[in-house]
Amino acid sequence: MEVLDYNKLKIFKAVADLKSFSKAAEFLFLSQPTVTLQIKKIENHLNVTLFERTKEGIKLTPEGKILYKHATKILEDYSVLEEDIYSLGKKLDTSLIIGASTTVGEYFLPPLMAKFLKNKENLNINLFIGNSKEVEEGILSKRFYIAFVEDEIISNKLNTIDIYEDEIIFLASEKADIPAYIDKKDVKYYKFVFREKGSGTRNIVEKHLRNKNIKIYPEIEMGSSKAIVNFVANSDYIGFASKLIAKDYLKNKVLRKIQIDNINIHRKFTCITQKNIRLPSAEREFLNFVLNNSTL
């Protein structure tokens, strides 16, 4: 006989939050057929349909909305139960789910996570990497309680804590015939590759360009800063990326920094959490670890 257990509710909530079976599967490190099967088992057990398909994707049915309300509370109560037992010194396996936008998740957090996990045999970490909007939605829907982003997020529903100052720099190949300094009146003579529209990194660069009344029309757009760095290293284009991403290329003299006018771009990596919510112990411990082991 099928039971409506914790794992099924967790899968259901992920599908509802992400409005996608495939995204839920990716987020939970499961196959899409597994996610679909578990949702079907819940529907068969309750004899209802939980999701309906629309032109915009999937949405909850009235029955699904009722289950979502109760599933959210059950999963929260389960998290509190785990924490209370763990606080008594019991050896209970616990999970820490962290959300992160791309640069933070791929370059800043992994070394810190590796250090944090030393001598923590009973802790499992899942790192979800998405764009800033997806990460913010994950916090607000409580898919995870703590996240780290490089884009500026302004919301009266979120607490923010600055944890690190990053620098975004313009880059060119060491082999390219491009001067180290380019006056703003001369940018039109060079080819540029930018991140895709909507990228947090691109947003902050374009903001600085507008402040200096500099107009750049990129010939190429890419959805990854790492791809831009690799492309620029093998071309005569100018691109931009976090110094964290480019540091090995700079050190090995594959790329060099280009100064455009007198633009200097700095941004803060920020931890975000929901307001008026008590973080579970693992999240609180990890946040304190990051604050004590990163340099603002």
Cα 156 to Cα 13: distance, rounded to the nearest angstrom: 24
In this predicted structure, the answer to whether residue 97 has a pLDDT above a threshold of 70 is yes
Could you tell me the CATH number of the domain that includes residue 77? 1.10.10.10
Query: Using CA atoms, how far apart are residues 48 and 62, in angstroms rounded to an integer?
Result: 10
Domains: count for the chain: 2
The pLDDT, as a whole number, for residue 93 is: 54
Instruction: State residue 120's pLDDT score.
Output: 83
SS (H, E, C) the chain: CCCCCHHHHHHHHHHHHHCCHHHHHHHHCCCHHHHHHHHHHHHHHHCCCCEEEECCEEEECHHHHHHHHHHHHHHHHHHHHHHHHHHCCCCCCEEEEEEEEHHHHHHHHHHHHHHHCCCCCCEEEEEEEECHHHHHHHHHCCCCCEEEECCCCCCCCEEEEEEEEEEEEEEEECCCCCCCEECHHHHHHCCEEEECCCCHHHHHHHHHHHHCCCCCCCCEEECCHHHHHHHHHCCCCEEEEEHHHHHHHHHCCCEEEEEECCCCEEEEEEEEEECCCCCCHHHHHHHHHHHHHCCC
pLDDT band at 84 (very low <50, low <70, confident <90, very high): confident
Q: Is residue 27 part of a domain?
A: yes
Structure tokens at 225: 């800063």
Residue 104 located in a structural domain = no
| pLDDT at site 295 | 66
Residue 110 placed within a domain? no
User: Mean pLDDT across the stretch 190-209?
Assistant: 90
What integer is the mean pLDDT of 75-100?
A: 73
Q: Which of 63, 87, 111 is the last residue of a domain?
A: 87
Task: Please indicate, yes or no, if residue 203 is contained in any of the structural domains.
Answer: yes
Share of the chain above pLDDT 70, in %: 95
Residue 256's DSSP bridge partners are 172
Same-domain status, 263 and 173: yes
Confidence of residue 2 (pLDDT cuts 50, 70, 90): low
Tens-digit pLDDT profile for residues 110-158: 999 999 998 787 788 999 998 888 898 889 888 899 999 987 777 888 9
26-82: pLDDT as tens digits: 878 789 999 999 999 999 999 999 999 888 789 999 999 999 999 988 888 887 776
pLDDT at 171: 97
Q: Of the residues 87, 105, 137, which one is the last residue of a structural domain? A: 87
126 lies in a domain? Answer: no
**CATH code, domain carrying 215:** 3.40.190.290
Question: What pLDDT, on a 0 to 100 scale, did the predictor assign at position 86?
Answer: 64
In this structure, the chain runs to a length of 296
**Residue 38 domain-assigned (yes or no):** yes
Tokens describing residue 223: 């959805």
Q: Tokens at residue 10, please?
A: 């967790």
- For the packed helices 243-251 and 225-233, what is the interaxial angle rounded to 10 degrees? 30
**Residue 14 located in a structural domain:** yes
Question: Six-digit token pair at 253?
Answer: 């003299």
Whether residue 129 lies inside any domain: the answer is no
Structural domain of residue 26, as residue ranges?
Answer: 1-87
Confidence band (pLDDT; 50, 70, 90) for 205? very high
| CB neighbour list of residue 176: distance below 8 Å, 6 or more residues apart | 235, 236, 237
Can you name the residues that pair with 57 across neighbouring β-strands?
54
Across 77-106, average pLDDT? 76
Measured CA to CA, the distance from residue 271 to residue 246 in angstroms comes to 23
pLDDT digit string, tens, across residues 221-264:
998 899 999 999 999 999 999 999 999 999 999 999 999 999 99
Q: How far apart are CA 235 and CA 113, in angstroms?
A: 34
